[in-house]
Structures are given as C-alpha cells and as structure tokens.
Structure 1
Amino acid sequence: MNDSSQESYRQVFKATSIFGGTQVFNIAIGLVRSKLAASLIGTAGYGINSLLSAPLGLIGSLTGLGIGFSAIRNIATTHAEGDQEQFARTVKTLRRWVWVTGLLGMLVTICLASSLSRSSFGNEDYTWAFVALSITFLLGAVSSGQSAVLYGTRRIKDTARSVMIGGVLGALTSIPLYYFYGLKGIVPAIIAASCTSLLLSWYFARRVPVKAVDVSYSESFREGLSFAKMGFMMTLSGLMGSAVAYGLSAFISHMGGVSEVGLYNSGWSITERYVGMVFAAMAADYYPRLSSVSGDRTKVSDMVNQQAEIGILIVGPIMLLYLLSLPILIPLLYTSEFLGVIPFTQWVVIGMLLKVIGWSLGFIALAQGKSALYFRLELVGTVIQTLSIMGGYTIWGLEGVGVAFVISYVLYVTYMVIFYIKTQSFSISKQLFLLFTGMQLLCILAFLSVKFLPNFYGYTVCLLLLIISILLSAHELNKRIEFMNIYQKFKKRFRRKK
C-alpha cells in the first residue's frame, strides 16, 4: 500500500474516531441531562418540549433551505484548490444568506405563532412562547453558517470541541432553568442552547483565516443560488423521508395496530443508537473531503472505496455486538414487552454492511453539486424501501420489515453501483469486495446461529464470531493505517516527556 493511500485511510479513521468519540460523549451527556430533566419537568415538560419543537423543526426545514449543509461542498472545493479569493467570496455569501433564511424563519414563526399554539396545544396559551422561540431560527441559521466553514475547511478538532462544549453547556444552562422555573424554564432553556451553539461555532469559525473581499449583495444573491438549489433538493428529500416514515407507521397501524407501530419504531430507534452515530461521525469529514476531489473521477472512486472499507471495519463488529446484546439491551432500554422486536432487528444485521456501501455512494451526487441527480437517487431508494417494507410486513409481519430492509439494500446498492459504473466509470475495489464478503459472511453466520440454534449455543457461536470480527478489523486497520506503529511512536514520545 503506497503512502498516499495510507494517509487517506488515516484521515478517514482519524476523523471517524474523533467525531465518533464526540457522539459517544454527547450521548452520555444527553442521558444525564434527560434523567435530570425528567425528574424536574416530568412527562408534561417533555410533552410541551416536543409540541414546541416539532412545528419549529418543520418551519426550519422549509425556510432554512438546507443551506448550512449544502454550502459545505463549495467551501471545501474552494479551500482545497487554494483559491483564497473565491473561498472568501463563498464564505461571505454564505454568511449573508443564513441571515436572510434565519430572519425568514423568524418572521414566519411570529406570523403563525397563534396558529401554531392552537394546532399544538388546542389553545392560544403558547402564542408568546412561539414568538419568543422565533429568535432560535436566526441564532440557528447563523450558527449553521459558521459550522459549515468549520466542516468545509475540515477543522476536525475545532468542530469536535464546539460540539462537545456545546453539549456540556447546554446541560449546565438547561438544568438550573428547569430547577428554578419548572415548566416555565423550557422556552428559556431552548433559547439558551441556541445562544451557546452560536457563540461556540462563531468563536471557532473566526479562527479560520478568511481574506477580506468586496462582494455586492447582488453578487451574493446570484452565487448563493447554487447553495439554495442544492439545499432545496436536500430539504425535499428530508420531507419525503418524513412523509414516508409517517405513511409506513400509519400502514402498520392499519394492518397490525398501534402496538405493532410501537415495536416498529422502537426497533429503528435502538438500531439508530448503535450505528447512527457511526454514520454521523463518518459524514462529518467524508462529505467535505469528497467534495474537494469531486472533479476527479478516479479520486472520487478511490475515496468512496476507502470510506466504505473503513465503515465496514467499524460497523461489522458493532453489528455482531448488537446481535449478541439484543436480549439484554431491549429490556434495559424499554421493557420486556418490547422483546417482540428482536426477530425484526436481527435481520438488520445482515443488511447494515450493504447500507455502508450505499451510504458511501450516496454522497457522490452531493459532492458534485448535482442536486437533481441526488433527489432522483434518493427517490429511487425511498420507493424501493417503501414497497419492500409494505410487502414484507404484509407477508411476514414485523419480522418481514427486517427481511425488507435486507432486500431493499440489495436492490438499492445494486442500482447505485450499476448507475455509477455506467456514468462515472466507478469500480468496486478488490479490497472492498473481499472485505465486504468476509465481514458479511460473519454477520450471516452469526444471524443463523442465534436464529436457529438453542440460545446457549447460538449466542456462544455469536460471541466467537464477534471476537473473529474484532481481530479481522484490527488486522485490516493495521494494514491500512499501521496504528501499531503510531502507538509505538506515541509511547516513545510520551516516555521522552516523562
């Protein structure tokens, strides 16, 4: 393996480790915060918080246009090219646009405040609460603009510090407000969290050197349209996903009742806890890196393969641990009533490595700024998944949802690979193919063992396969990034300092 490839693998692993650690830290802080909040504001407080946040989230999606995320591509591209002039113009344009979208969200919320209160609470008692919370649109929009600069310039450590400090400060500000003001502290706590997020993102983003440039407002408007176009397609995709999620829940409720819906949603929720943070951690650095080489098809192909390899090496052992711990984890997080979700969630283990590959491919259109193509591919994936789940549930019940998950990703990944082979000369590397085949085989064997062997023997085999997967991952990671050599160098340096 050449030095260039090894360095690329190291960047992927480093970013995933840092952002993954950040996710774990914030989850831990969130659990503590949730526990304290539950004792201070109770279920009523959580209900009020949800009823306030849900409509605000929808308005934010529509008025924000996804600019904070879509602009990362432009920032990453200009920064990688070393074009300081264009980089500065892009940053200035973004900062102007987020003020406009933030003020738009604020204005829409103020105008609809009484209607939002009636639709959420059945009265107008929370009108002024929505008016007060309208400021969070401006704070959040400006904060997203600053965060885009950090992500686009790949300031990994600064981004991680901002998120971690924000999580701690969010807890330190909200808990006292709940303690002293009870339910009346909910609105100030939400606003305080937005202020904290803005201050931190602003502080760290200001450390990125940006050249002073003159850009007229008309130029900013024209240049920012590309952000808005891509962001609008991403917003449509997000809304489509939300609509489908609601539609599938309604379908399952009609076919099997509300208890089935509870099991269905809890199954996805527990899966998200296990692997969602891994995908979030990888995306934080992968998107800007891929954007920076989006004009070179060979580099795009190499980077997609490398990202998928690292993803499989991380997700594979996690899914085997997930399979092994389900009978303990579900009663721990929920109650024994939810054990019926196990057959469904076991199938997810087989499909998750396919999702890693599909997820890695899904960023290509985004990185290349092809908004219409991105939406089309998302639409294809959504249609495949929706029809698969409806068919799977109709035939096999809740377990059929798990079967559908596997089938949908087989179809989706096959479609994506063929599409990019034909349009961009993309190719699956030999290393990725062998790695996927080996780890997938371990996942299938583990699934079959817990599914068909008596409990003791099944889970014993699963444990042995988990150990094999960890050893395989460690071996393959060491081949790619030589972390044992890095560890030895770190150890020597530490000894010198002592």
Structure 2
Amino acid sequence: MINNKSHNILFKSMSLFGTTQVLRMICKVVAVKCASVFLGPVGIGIIGLIENTLGLITQGSSFGMSVIGTKAIAQHKEDASKTAQIAKLQLIWMMAAGILAALISIVFAEKLSMLTFGDYSYTKYFRLLSLYFIFHAIVNAATVIMQGLNEIKKLINYQLMSLGFITLSTISCYYFLGIEGIVPSFLLSSFISLVVHLSFLRKLGLTNVKLSKAQISDYGKKLISSGILLALNGVFGLVCFYILRQYLLYTSDDKAILGYYETANIYLLSYFGVIFTSLAADFFPRLSSKMAVSEDVNELVNAQIQLGLLVATPLVLIMYCMAPYIIILLSSEAFLPVQDILLFGLLSIICKTINYPMGYMVLGKGDTRHYFIQNIVSDSLILGFTYFLFKEFQLIGIGMAVFLQYMFFSFYIYYFVKKKYGFVLDKASKTIIVISVLFTSSVVICQFTENAVSKVLQYIVAAMGIIYCLYRLIKVTNVLHWIKKSKGE
C-alpha cells in the first residue's frame, strides 16, 4: 500500500512543472493552428520531415549526454564543488556535440535534402540549420543542469520567458513566408531559447571553475562510453520513423497522408506528452537518487503509474468524445481524417502511462545495454505493425499499430523489471489499470456503432470514467487540503 506522501510529492512536482507544460502546449496549439491554416496538410508534413531529420542528427551526435548528465548531477547535487565541475564538463561536451551536429548538417546538406525530400531544393536550408544545433545544444545543457539540481522552478521561469516570443516568431514566419518560413521558424525559436537560457548559465559562474585537460578528457570518455547505446537508441528510433514517414509518403496516392500522420503525432506525442514530461521532470532525478543508494523504488514507481493514469485517462476520454470539435478548433476541417488514427492511437496513451515509469527504472540503474534492447524492440514493433496494418486499414491501421506497439511493450517491460529488479505492481495500481482500460475500451467500442444510443452511451461511460479518476486523484493526493494550504486558509 502506498502512503499519500509519495503521491503528494509527485503531484506537487507534476503540478508545478505541468503548469509550464500546459502553457507550452497552449502556445503549440496556437502555432499548429496557424500552421494548419497557412501551410495546410502538406506544410505540416514538411515540418515533420525536417523535425525528424534534425532529431536524427542530434541523437547521432549527442551520445545520450542529456540522460547521463542529469543522472550524474542528481547523484552529486549535495556537493557544490563537484556539481559545478560536472555542470561545466557537461556544458563543454554538449557544445562539442552541437558543433559536430552542425558540421554534419553542412557537409551532408545535399544528401540530407535528397534523402528527405527527393531533390536538392533544401540543401541551403540544411546548411542554415547548422546554427540550430549549436543553439539547441547550449539550451539542452542548461536544462540538464537545472533538472539534475532539481531546480524545477528556475527551469519553469526560463521556459516561460521563451514561450511567448517563440510562438510569435513562428506564427510570423508562417504568415509572411508560408512554407518558406518553416526553416526560419526553427532558427528563430532556437535562438530565442539560447538568449534566455544563457542568463542562467552566466549566473552559475562556471567560468571560475578550473578543469584540467585530463578531467575534460576523462568525462568525455565516460559520457561517450556510457551514452553510446543511448545515442544508437535514438538514432535507430528516428531512422524507423524516417522510414515510416517515407513509406507513408510514397505508398499512398494522397500526399496529405503525411500531414494527417504528423498531426496525429502532435496530439499523441506533444499534447499528451505534457503528462510524461511533467511526471519525468522530478521523477527521474528522484528515482536515480534512490537507485544509487539501493533503496526500494517499488513505492515510487507504483505511485507514478497511479498518478499518471488518473491524470491521463480523463484526458483520453475527453479527446474521444470531443475529437471532431478539437481537431477543427486546433487545426481545420481538412484534418478531420486524423480521427481515424486517434481511434486506436489514443489507447496507446494508457499503455505508455503504465510502461513509462518502469522504463525509467532501467535508466536510473544505469543499465544502458538493456535500455538499448528495449527501445530496439519498441521501435521495431511500430515499424512492423505500421507496414502491415496501413496496407489493410489505411489511417485506422496507423493508430492500431501505435496501440499494439505500446501494448506489447508494456508486457515486455513489466516482465523485465519484475525479473531484473523485483518490481511488482501493487493492488492499487492493478485496480486503476483495469478501470482505465475498461473505460477507454468501452468508449472505443461505442464509436464503432454509429447510432444515437451508442453516442449517448459513450458520453455516459466517459463521464463515469472522468468522475472516478478525479475522485481517486483527489483522494490519493489530498489535493483539496493542498490547495487550501497554498491559499493560506
């Protein structure tokens, strides 16, 4: 049985960081809405292709430095001198990784353009985007340091400072330049983030920290040796998604299909990703600290699963009931076919909420080899399922593939952490999992029967699920008492 303290700690951290993520999501909603109107499904597809290519280069040159750095700082944060040294070393090597990525973008610009778009029209853009990698690396280094130190409030403040300006610059690029404004929007966004986060790095006083060449070299070797499998993980995953995007683009006669796929990913990965980002911001450093001293982490991981499901399930149910209106509001009527992907795709959010905390146990233990294997399994599943199911069911098949990937992976990761680390789902976690699956599955079944009775039944089931989850959430987190206390009542 988990005491309320574990839930309260996680809930407060999630609420704090979640506020920023919600604001970030709102800004992204506005940007995506404008992109949908100004660029259309084809423009959204181009954005996805560029993002995928940028991510591929970044992952291939970063060697998992973000994860390794966050863990290292979190484990030594009580020692100010040691923390300052690690922070500076992290900054040096992440900047080096950014420069490497920039060189790759410049040298292979022609090949990147041909591989991504089938011609050389984006060669000059990939050369321009070399600056993006350097800006992005410095911002990531600042973020890693703040997360490792558990300076969540500072991280929130710096992110909030960036949000408004990034949104305005992105919309301006789309409005005035159309599709030609996509690359400038990437550059402006990364530059704005750089300017804001540099102020944090200056306050750290890292220029006063003295490091020997041996220290720099040794830390770099440690980062690369520890993170090489994480880097390969990221590269393999992005290669899979790259192949998947190219497959969708050239298999279907409808060139808008890629736009629908990218929009569905925005909902599943960006909007719902707020939950996972908010949970992980405090959870991973806390988990790493516990695993470093061999503490029992069962309670923390179970609390994370329960809290995640109680937050995610109501949002999934709302999305099922309101999908047409939400899609039109956030995009346009041209994107209504996205509903077909979300039909099964939304179920994957429930599965991901279950396996996400368990996956972090492997990282927290520093077992990069098994983390590598797990991600290879997961990425291979999505590629294989999409290949077969898209042919048979088109857009619905894409959603089915995502759901099946996360469902099978949930069983796989639970078996692994149970055998390797002795993790066991407690009674409360099992109950919430069963309830969440029943409510969401029932709503999906109702959607297959297009009549008035099933529509009403769908709303009733969704309402019951939302009420149940909110009731349990209030009960386990004692949120009402927390709100009153924060108001000084």
* TM band (smaller chain): 0.7 to 0.9
**Among residues 48, 55, 74, which one is paired with 2:72 in the alignment?**
74
Map 1:80-95 to 2 at 5 A: 82-95=78-91
Q: Aligned equivalents of 1:348 and 1:157: distance in 2?
A: 33
Distance 1:44 1:242, change over 3 A: closer
Map 1:210-249 to 2 at 5 A: 214-249=210-245
Q: Aligned equivalents of 2:222 and 2:103: distance in 1?
A: 24
Distance 1:423 1:232, change over 3 A: same
The share of aligned pairs that are identical, in percent, is: 25
Distance 1:178 1:381, change over 3 A: closer
Q: Secondary structure at the match of 1:294?
A: helix
Shift of residue 315, structure 1, vs aligned partner: 0.6
Distance 1:403 1:297, change over 3 A: farther
Shift of residue 397, structure 1, vs aligned partner: 5.0
Shift of residue 149, structure 1, vs aligned partner: 0.5
**Structure 2 counterpart of 1:496:** none
Map 1:25-174 to 2 at 5 A: 25-33=23-31, 55-79=53-77, 82-112=78-108, 127=124, 133-172=129-168
Higher relative contact order structure (alpha carbons within 8 Å, sequence separation ≥ 6) = 2
AA at the equivalent of 1:435: I
Q: Aligned equivalents of 2:333 and 2:46: distance in 1?
A: 28
AA at the equivalent of 1:299: D
Q: Secondary structure at the match of 1:299?
A: coil
Q: Aligned equivalents of 1:258 and 1:16: distance in 2?
A: 41
Q: Secondary structure at the match of 2:366?
A: coil
Shift of residue 233, structure 1, vs aligned partner: 2.4
1:473 and 2:469 matched: yes
Shift of residue 313, structure 1, vs aligned partner: 0.3
Contact conserved, 2:306 with 2:432, CA < 8 A, in 1? yes
Q: Aligned equivalents of 1:268 and 1:177: distance in 2?
A: 22
Map 1:288-303 to 2 at 5 A: 288-296=285-293, 298-303=295-300
Contact conserved, 2:36 with 2:332, CA < 8 A, in 1? no
**Among residues 408, 417, 422, which one is paired with 2:419 in the alignment?**
422
Distance 1:188 1:333, change over 3 A: closer
1:456 and 2:457 matched: no
Shift of residue 400, structure 1, vs aligned partner: 4.2
Contact conserved, 1:88 with 1:212, CA < 8 A, in 2? no
Distance 1:103 1:426, change over 3 A: same
Q: Return the index of the structure with the highest Cα Rg.
A: 1
Shift of residue 356, structure 1, vs aligned partner: 1.0
CA offsets per residue over residues 56-86 of structure 1, 9 Å max, x none?
Answer: 544333223332343111111222xx23343
Distance 1:459 1:42, change over 3 A: closer
**Among residues 327, 335, 350, which one is paired with 1:353 in the alignment?**
350
AA at the equivalent of 2:426: S
Q: Secondary structure at the match of 2:286?
A: helix
CA-atom RMSD in angstroms: 3.8
Q: Aligned equivalents of 1:46 and 1:209: distance in 2?
A: 41
* Structure 1 runs not aligned, ≥5 long: 494-498
Q: Aligned equivalents of 2:481 and 2:119: distance in 1?
A: 63
Distance 1:205 1:300, change over 3 A: farther
Distance 1:257 1:39, change over 3 A: closer
Shift of residue 406, structure 1, vs aligned partner: 3.9
Contact conserved, 1:70 with 1:230, CA < 8 A, in 2? yes
Distance 1:218 1:463, change over 3 A: same
**Among residues 371, 376, 381, which one is paired with 1:374 in the alignment?**
371
Distance 1:488 1:406, change over 3 A: same
| Bigger mean CA offset, 5-14 vs 28-37 | 28-37
| Equivalences, count | 487
CA offsets per residue over residues 182-203 of structure 1, 9 Å max, x none?
Answer: 9998777654433331232232
TM-score normalised according to structure 1 size: 0.83
AA at the equivalent of 2:20: T
AA at the equivalent of 2:165: L
| Bigger mean CA offset, 152-161 vs 183-192 | 183-192
